[in-house]
């Protein structure tokens, strides 16, 4: 079911085609390459709940493009109305937008995005259940992430706590005690950035200011 609003990946693809038309890029092979993710991982995440039963969640990691550097993008916990199939298309679109954002900003990173189809604000999970979910997902994507591969970050309903759990799980699987480069958005004591918690809002404010000056 992909009926909730417009298809986000179709929107992203149209934006790319519009940009290429403005820039005079007519190579269809290049446009197709820039549109589609390099890889799209979809995983089943089995989690033992506090009642002893197993519940299976669905997770995604879209790796859109890494020509400029490691894939980069957040991991969100959310349940859009369009269901799992809508979320898959949304994650693909978000990973593409990350590629273009990092390129426009001139930073040596590519674009990626991840998600688990779950809403911790609607359902009441225990701290242990959420830790199990996060760590199991980290285990399942551990082979495709890393400081030189793909660097996740917080997003909707994820915080530095989840990033620390991902970092810890990745480190244990790779035989290292502390690998801060595998994720961003860590708590400051774990090597995080002082400005991380306000970066998105501050960046939005800067963009609005510049747009207002440009438009008048």
- The confidence score (pLDDT) of residue 178 equals 85
């440009």: which residue's tokens?
214
The C-alpha atoms of residue 69 and residue 112 are separated, in whole angstroms, by: 11
Q: Which residues contact residue 193 at a Cβ distance below 8 angstroms, ignoring those fewer than 6 apart?
A: 184, 199
- Looking at residue 4, its pLDDT comes to 46
Apex CA 69: angle with CA 146 and CA 89, to 5°? 80
Phi/psi at 106 (5° precision): 75, 20
What was the pLDDT predicted at 11?
A: 94
Please list the rounded mean pLDDT of every run of 10 residues in the chain (216 residues): 70 95 96 97 98 98 98 96 94 98 96 98 95 98 98 96 97 91 93 86 93 91
Q: How far apart are CA 40 and CA 101, in angstroms?
A: 19
- In the set 44, 113, 122, 149, the catalytic residue is 113
Rounded to an integer, what is the distance from CA 123 to the centroid of its chain?
A: 22
Contact present, 95 and 61 (Cβ < 8 Å): no
Contact 88, 114 (CB under 8 A): no
Which pLDDT does position 167 carry in this prediction? 97
Q: Please confirm, yes or no, whether 72 is among the known catalytic residues.
A: no
Residue 109 CA to residue 59 CA, distance in Å, equals 23
pLDDT of residue 216: 78
Q: Which pTM value belongs to this model?
A: 0.91
Q: Note the pLDDT of residue 2.
A: 43
For the domain spanning 8-185, the CATH number is 3.40.50.10860
- Is 163 in contact with 185 (CB distance < 8 Å)? yes
**Predicted local distance difference test score (pLDDT) of residue 194:** 86
Domain extents in the chain: 8-185
Rounded to whole angstroms, how far apart are CA atoms 64 and 72?
9
Determine whether 96 is exposed, middle or buried from the number of CB atoms within 10 Å of its CB (0-12, 13-18, 19+). buried
């Amino acid at each position: 079911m992909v009926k909730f609003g417009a298809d986000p990946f179709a929107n992203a693809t149209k934006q790319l085609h519009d940009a290429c038309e403005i820039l005079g890029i007519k190579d269809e092979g290049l446009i197709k390459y820039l549109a589609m993710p390099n890889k799209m991982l979809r995983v089943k995440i089995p989690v033992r709940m506090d009642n002893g039963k197993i519940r299976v969640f669905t997770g995604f990691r879209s790796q859109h493009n890494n020509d400029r550097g490691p894939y980069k993008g957040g991991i969100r916990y959310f349940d859009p109305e369009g269901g799992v199939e809508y979320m898959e298309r949304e994650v693909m679109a978000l990973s593409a937008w990350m590629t273009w954002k990092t390129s426009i900003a001139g930073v040596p990173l590519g674009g990626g995005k991840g998600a688990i189809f779950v809403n911790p604000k609607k359902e009441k999970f225990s701290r242990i259940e959420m830790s199990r979910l996060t760590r199991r997902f980290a285990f399942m994507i551990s082979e495709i992430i890393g400081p030189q591969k793909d660097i996740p970050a917080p997003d909707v309903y994820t915080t530095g706590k989840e990033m620390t759990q991902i970092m810890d799980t990745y480190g244990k699987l790779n035989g290292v005690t502390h690998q801060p480069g595998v994720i961003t958005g860590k708590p400051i004591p774990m090597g995080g950035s002082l400005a991380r918690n306000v970066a998105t809002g501050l960046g939005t404010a800067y963009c609005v200011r510049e747009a207002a000056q440009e438009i008048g």
